[in-house]
A and B are shown apart, each in its own frame.
Chain A
Amino acid sequence: MKKLLLLLATLAVLTACSAHTLVVADLDLLSFAQGTEGLEGDLTVPGSMQVYIPDADDNLATPDGGELISDLPTLDELHGLGIDVVADVENTGSGPLDLQADFRLAPASDSSNIYDGAGDTSLTNTSLHLEAGASGQVHLEAHLQKGDPALDLVTGDGFRVGVELRVNGSSTIHYQITGFHVVLEQRPFDLIPEP
């Protein structure tokens, strides 16, 4: 009786759902940022430097806990995870620049540094060479499916994300983050208990 009531209760939630239905939470993290602080700016690169986005400790140049994502009903039994980060960059100085961007995923408990490889992991990275006066786009995109070990970092308590940007060269750069989406996918049928 209890199992059947549990099944009926679950089916009530799943009305309009099927085995192939995915519930997708598309999080627009950029919209939660306060103003343009940290999302757009100019940096003087003295030879090499790293910046960490989003800036959780009011210092772009120091690694931190990134953005904590929690309190979402789709976090249990996650079926997939997607990320999509886009940044426009322009070399406004006189020398060439090399950029490397690394997207990090970490458990909710890794609140101090999600860029040190201790408990956290790299989901995707890209690189870009910019001559003086040139502009380009940094695009980080990744998609994890159920079964990927990195998905184990996402629990009911949440998870953390962030981007490490390494710049080499002597010049100045103008950057603007134009998109920061995290997509969580859940198959509601994964929640149905076995009889």
Chain B
Amino acid sequence: MKRLWILLLTATLGVASAQGVRSLGMGGVTLPGPWAAGLNPAYAAYPGDAYGPGGGFDLPLGLINLALRPSVSPLYYFTDFATFKSNFDVLAFLDQVSRPYEFMINPPSSPDKIVLHVSADGVQITDGSGKPFQLGTYSGGKSGAAGLPLPQPFLLIPIPTGLSGLHVSLGAFTSAGGFGLNPSPALSRDLASGSLQPNTEYSFSLTGAASAGVNVNLDFATPLPAIPGFEGKVYLGGQLEGFYGLLYADAELTGTTTTDDHGAPGPVTYSNRLFYVYPGSGNGYGGRLDLGVALDYQSGTYGLGVRNLFGYESWSGVLHTNDGSGHSSDNSHTITHAAFDPAVYANGAYAQTLAGGDVVLYGADASYAAGAFSAHAGVEYQKSIFRLRGGLGYENGLKLGLGAGVKLPGFSFDTALTSHQAPFSGQMVFGLAASLGFNF
């Protein structure tokens, strides 16, 4: 049972690092400012009020669906089995749990039919309307948290150093990712072609990983002296981040089946693998180096950050395995990762003041890490205390953001209408997000 709590605790902590509602309303754009120092260390020296407050406390509206909506909530399995059995949708659950700060208005729906056409020519699998199954879109990407750039720490506490530009801070980090169903290459290939092959072994894995710990950041960021003949202002920053890991869980559940002479799948056997760390069973440690530069020029700001220029991490814990035939084992295990594994992030913003004092703020960013590319572009219209926002983004599919907010002295409230494409079905899913900000 302890293993399960480790997995759930680390996964729950991992969702605490969601992006702000203001950003969601602008299609996912992260504007220049100190809040982006984790992506570009140069922003640690950047004024925090240049583009407005970074946002407030994001309300975890997705928990409403996860607790109450029968099609999304697995809790009904324990409280009302009949409701669970007649309403629950695994696709809707997976999509909502990956976006806990968004209340999904129309959770995605699994297909009504999965059809296996069995004939002497083999087995074809379609979605009921004749289209081949595309399991590959469920892939959670790289399994495990190790090797990925550490997420931005939360609860970051600055420690005065007395030295200009040098910042030391203590914080805590959480990470969750790699969730998804990963079919074996043979299964992906043959499902896409629409026909399972005879006497072939197929497998699929459900994966997920999460980690949590404390970290120490040592960063130096400073604006450069004015350059003669150049009206802009340049900021440089570097950051060394060390961490001590407290919790780690990397789970993989694999189902395997072998087809017969006609390509019909046989019984499915399950094996599982769980590497876990908790205080008393092991720990983790490591560090990484990040560098960044930002430029203020006229009414615009442009930044480029490279995280994880060099990173090292090591986790020692327990590896639990079960081979599917009833044999299980628990052994001490250590994983290490040391590599030049850069994550590049670029962003920019431009503020245009209109006649009458209204402001239009344009923002865009792009990032590349571990083979994944994402980009966002958005706009915010500021009129008196009111804010209107909109934007488009690309993160494994197109997403739309629309938002509105109110900014009063010391208080702000923001909402966003978001959208994204659901995995597997490609359905456009709309969500609501909200945050409260206090800026005294």
Contact = CB atoms under 8 A, between A and B. Distances in A.
A12 B253 contact: yes
A128 interface: no
Interface in B193-207: 204, 206
A19 B87 contact: yes
Contacts of A26: 115-118
Contact of A18 (B92, B115, B260, B265): B92
Contact of A19 (B1, B89, B424): B89
B206 A12 contact: yes
B144 to A, nearest CB: 17
A9 interface: yes
B114 A21 contact: yes
A11 interface: yes
Contacts of B264: 71-72
Main secondary structure of the interface of B (DSSP, over half): mixed
B274 to A, nearest CB: 10
A18 B110 contact: yes
Contacts of B87: 19
Contacts of B78: 195
B44 interface: no
A32 B260 CA distance: 14
Nearest to A183: B115
Given A20-B112, A24-B114, A12 B266 contact: no
Interface residues of A, number: 35
A12 B255 contact: yes
Contact of A24 (B91, B116, B135, B424): B116
A22 B111 CA distance: 8
B267 A21 contact: no
B181 A18 contact: no
B327 interface: no
A30 to B, nearest CB: 8
Contacts of B111: 16, 21
Nearest to A6: B270
Interface in A50-84: 71-74
Contacts of A18: 71, 88-92, 109-110
B138 interface: yes
Interface string B248-278: 0000010100001010111110101000000
Interface in A160-195: 189-190, 192, 194-195
A95 B86 CA distance: 57
A7 B253 CA distance: 12
A22 B266 contact: no
B86 A19 contact: yes
Interface string B173-194: 0000000010000000000000
A17 interface: yes
A25 interface: yes
Contacts of B135: 16
B81 A1 contact: no
Contacts of A72: 118, 264
Interface string B93-117: 0100000000000000111111111
B252 to A, nearest CB: 10
Most buried by A among B78, B88, B255, B264: B88
A36 interface: no
A10 to B, nearest CB: 10
A23 interface: yes
A74 B267 CA distance: 10
Contact of B115 (A9, A24, A73): A24
Given A71-B266, A72-B264, A16 B128 contact: no
Contacts of B110: 16-18, 20-21
Contact of A9 (B4, B84, B89, B270): B270
Given A24-B116, A25-B116, A73-B266, 8 more contacts: A1-B4, A18-B90, A21-B112, A23-B115, A26-B116, A26-B117, A26-B118, A190-B85
26 contacts: A5-B272, A9-B253, A14-B90, A15-B138, A15-B181, A16-B90, A17-B89, A17-B90, A17-B91, A17-B114, A18-B71, A18-B88, A19-B84, A19-B86, A19-B87, A20-B89, A20-B110, A21-B111, A21-B113, A26-B115, A27-B118, A32-B120, A71-B266, A72-B118, A195-B77, A195-B78
